[in-house]
Amino acid sequence: MFDLLIKGGTLPDGTASDIGIRGDRIAALGRIEGAAREVIDATGDLVSPPFVDPHFHMDATLSYGTPRVNASGTLLEGIALWGELREIATVDEMVDRAVTYCDWAASMGLLAIRTHVDTTPDHLRGVEAMLEVKARVAPYIDLQLVAFPQDGLYRTKTGRENVIRALDMGVDVVGGIPHFERTMEEGTESLRDLGRIAAERGLMWDVHCDETDDPMSRHVEVMAREVTRHGLGGRAAGSHLTSMHSMDNYYVSKLLPLIAESGMTAIPNPLINITLQGRHDTYPKRRGLTRVKEMQAQGITVGWGQDCVMDPWYSLGTADMLDVAFMGLHVAQMTHPEEMARCFRMVTEDNARIMNLEGYGLKVGDKASLVVLDAGNPTEALRLRAERLAVVANGKVIARRHRNDTRLTIAGRPGTVRRRHPDR
């Protein structure tokens, strides 16, 4: 007897398989004839492990327009607006906004999120709020918190002290923002300092690194060196890395092997990078996205991040990681069938690897967390930004949606339209 049985689904690799679930674990795969307390018919539908977002700002989410709209659309104005908002936002308000966002995430099959939490203000209300959110959503969302000194580790008087306080309070990951320090030298020293902290505490390390159009912002090479020095490997991630889109090609030919050697991972955020970067350009206007395919060719694990939803930096968003991957494949020009399938893996398996998630996947013994999509394969899921027909978290069905075919009233044509289409 299974607690839950998913019948007739198609796995991302194209295999048709039933999935039998007992408790919070996958107990069986293949053709299953056993009884179950509940059965979901997924015949012809894609069954995937849950979506994963390794880069988000949950303390600011759903605050768009407060205290006012970002008129210039720039990163710096967004940071200035957030600097005002964090001083007036209460713990309860931040918790309410974040839990509401987690409702959206659960409905979209997004069941693991890494969120950066601003540690700049001495009151650390954001940290307090996000720790509360983490506890509330633990039954269905794996939430990792990053101690993020938004205004710089050294640029503010208590910047370093507050990072340590946040880690002592239970924050999971060490953050950083070297390009926002006063000088390149202080940015370099901040990376050396933060790398030591992560290594000494046995924590993961995730840095907002070179989020700028300046091709001379080269902190990622220092980060790669510190990752190698401390043996952090895949426990470290460089987020954004947008300066790489403007760097000299010869320099990049030296840089990418250094990143690959370190074992660190990379997290571009295509919706936000394409929106915020290049704002000072006339034409040609830079895309603002790092060198995704080139890093992947070096064996570097690269995932797509959401970054923002309705906050001082970005006015849109729905917690849909397929939207993120859809934008990513366009901006990175990843339109070959193999590349599009890779974009789907980037918001599932690769992001899970970046977050070092345990028990993630669709194998016997893995956590029974998955999503049933109204699509036949990963590429079709991206093309349609497919509806989530069912979301299962730790063995429990937490979200359902009826298949929403469009009705037509056109003479001589079918009565309904579904935009699914067989592969050619």
Q: What is the pLDDT of residues 73-88, one digit of tens each?
A: 999 999 999 999 999 9
What tens digit of pLDDT does each residue of 250-286 get? 999 999 999 999 999 999 999 999 999 999 999 999 9
Q: What percent of the chain has pLDDT over 90?
A: 98
Please state the φ and ψ torsions of residue 176, each to the nearest 5 degrees: 165, 160
DSSP 224-252: HHHHHHHT-GGGEEEEE-GGGGGS-HHHH
The tokens of 138 are what?
A: 């633990």
What tens digit of pLDDT does each residue of 340-353 get? 999 999 999 999 99
What tens digit of pLDDT does each residue of 25-46 get? 999 999 999 899 999 999 999 9
| Rounded mean pLDDT, 124-136 | 98
What tens digit of pLDDT does each residue of 175-213 get? 999 999 999 999 999 999 999 999 999 999 999 999 999
Asked whether 280 and 213 are in contact (CB, 8 A), the reply is yes
Residues 6+ apart with CB under 8 A from 197: 163, 164, 167, 174, 203
Upstream peptide bond of 50 is cis (omega within 30 degrees of 0): no
Asked whether 345 and 385 are in contact (CB, 8 A), the reply is no
Q: What is the mean pLDDT of the chain?
A: 97
Q: What is the pLDDT of residue 348?
A: 98
> Angle at the Cα of 46 (from 385 to 339), degrees rounded to 5?
60
Residue 105: which of 345, 306, 351, 325 has the closest Cα? 306
Asked whether 348 and 357 are in contact (CB, 8 A), the reply is no
Asked whether 144 and 355 are in contact (CB, 8 A), the reply is yes
Asked whether 262 and 228 are in contact (CB, 8 A), the reply is yes
Please state the φ and ψ torsions of residue 147, each to the nearest 5 degrees: -75, 105
| Rounded mean pLDDT, 207-232 | 98
| Residues recorded for the chain | 424
Residue 325: which of 310, 311, 309, 305 has the closest Cα? 305
> Angle at the Cα of 325 (from 321 to 329), degrees rounded to 5?
175
| Rounded mean pLDDT, 166-178 | 98
| Rounded mean pLDDT, 407-411 | 96
| Rounded mean pLDDT, 226-250 | 98
Instruction: Reply yes or no on whether the pLDDT at 424 is more than 70.
Output: no
Q: What is the pLDDT of residue 423?
A: 65
Asked whether 295 and 264 are in contact (CB, 8 A), the reply is no
Please give the radius of gyration of the chain, using alpha carbons only, rounded to the nearest integer. Answer: 22
| Rounded mean pLDDT, 206-225 | 98
Is 294 catalytic? The answer is no
Q: What is the pLDDT of residue 421?
A: 86
Q: What is the pLDDT of residue 404?
A: 86
Instruction: Reply yes or no on whether the pLDDT at 104 is more than 80.
Output: yes
**What distance in Å separates the CA atoms of residue 193 and residue 197, rounded to the nearest whole number?**
6
Catalytic residue among 33, 128, 189, 211: 211
Instruction: Reply yes or no on whether the pLDDT at 236 is more than 70.
Output: yes
